[in-house]
């Protein structure tokens, strides 16, 4: 009987090991593109588009996340809004829940009063919750920001970066994504909040409903401190 118990325990251990080995590892490359468009004609001709490209590349202890966002709006052939945003965040894993990171961003918003804002930061991040359904991470670092105002010379200063990011699988076909980041310097602070609901339609095609708010604590005269964007788009993963 003792030998039978030992055999069953050994088989159970082998079965558990096999299940762990069979668990799918994250794909080394993930990418998605979202595109939204609204157009009207008749008494008023308007067109508005937004697009977003996301790329994740994993290699050993590294995870590289790239983002490209673009938005434009025209009314009666006159451009009313145009902005481009580029971001790269590279994480170096220390263990399952901790990492070091380097992050670079570039914003060109033609109607904000700034020619561009560019940042480079490095720091430490940690997953507060890290399971199959819910992932919540927070990070902090220091870096440098270069800012150029229309008609003036560019200016640079040291910044502190604080941020958090959440990914919540609501079901097999829907997930909630949310992030908040802030670059704080001696002359101004830039804060970006994003939240999106992604719902799978069929196979690799999904719908994405997103809200973004960007606040700049100091802006040129005549400009507003907060810009918001609400978008509904189709996203394709590959």
Contact 147, 117 (CB under 8 A): yes
Contact 51, 35 (CB under 8 A): yes
Q: Name the one residue in this structure whose structure tokens are 């720091």.
A: 123
The CATH class for the domain spanning 28-237 reads mainly beta
- Quote the pLDDT of residue 43: 66
What is this structure's pTM? 0.84
Listing DSSP states for 68-108 in one string gives EEEEEEEETTEEEEEEEEEEEEEEEESSSSEEEEEEEEEEE
Q: State the average pLDDT over residues 227-238.
A: 92
For residue 10 the two structure tokens come to 């050994």
Please indicate whether residue 105 or residue 1 has the higher confidence score (pLDDT): 105
User: How many other CB atoms are found less than 10 A from the CB of residue 53?
Assistant: 15
- CA dihedral defined by 120, 83, 181, 26, rounded to 10 degrees? -80
pLDDT in tens, 186-203: 989 999 999 999 999 999
Q: How far apart are CA 131 and CA 199, in angstroms?
A: 20
């Amino acid at each position: 009987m003792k030998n039978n118990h030992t055999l069953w325990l050994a088989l159970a251990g082998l079965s558990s090991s096999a299940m762990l080995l069979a668990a799918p590892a994250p794909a080394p490359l993930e990418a998605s593109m979202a595109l939204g468009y609204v157009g009207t004609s008749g008494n008023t001709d308007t067109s508005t588009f937004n697009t977003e490209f996301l790329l994740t590349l994993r290699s050993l202890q590294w995870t590289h996340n790239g983002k490209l966002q673009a938005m434009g709006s025209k009314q009666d052939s006159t451009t009313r809004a145009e902005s481009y945003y580029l971001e790269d965040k590279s994480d170096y894993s220390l263990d399952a829940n901790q990492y070091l990171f380097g992050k670079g961003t570039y914003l060109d918003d033609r109607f904000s009063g700034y020619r561009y804002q560019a940042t480079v930061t490095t720091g430490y991040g940690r997953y507060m919750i890290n399971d199959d359904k819910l992932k919540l991470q927070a990070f902090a670092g220091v870096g440098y920001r270069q800012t150029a105002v229309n008609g003036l010379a560019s200016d640079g200063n040291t910044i502190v970066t604080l941020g958090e990011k959440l990914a919540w699988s609501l079901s097999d076909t829907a997930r909630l994504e949310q992030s908040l980041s802030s670059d704080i310097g001696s002359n101004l602070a830039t804060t970006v909040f994003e939240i999106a609901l992604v719902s799978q339609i069929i196979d690799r095609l999904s719908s994405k409903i997103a809200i973004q708010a960007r606040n700049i604590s100091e802006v040129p005269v005549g400009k507003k401190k907060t810009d918001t964007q609400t978008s509904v788009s189709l996203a394709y993963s590959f």
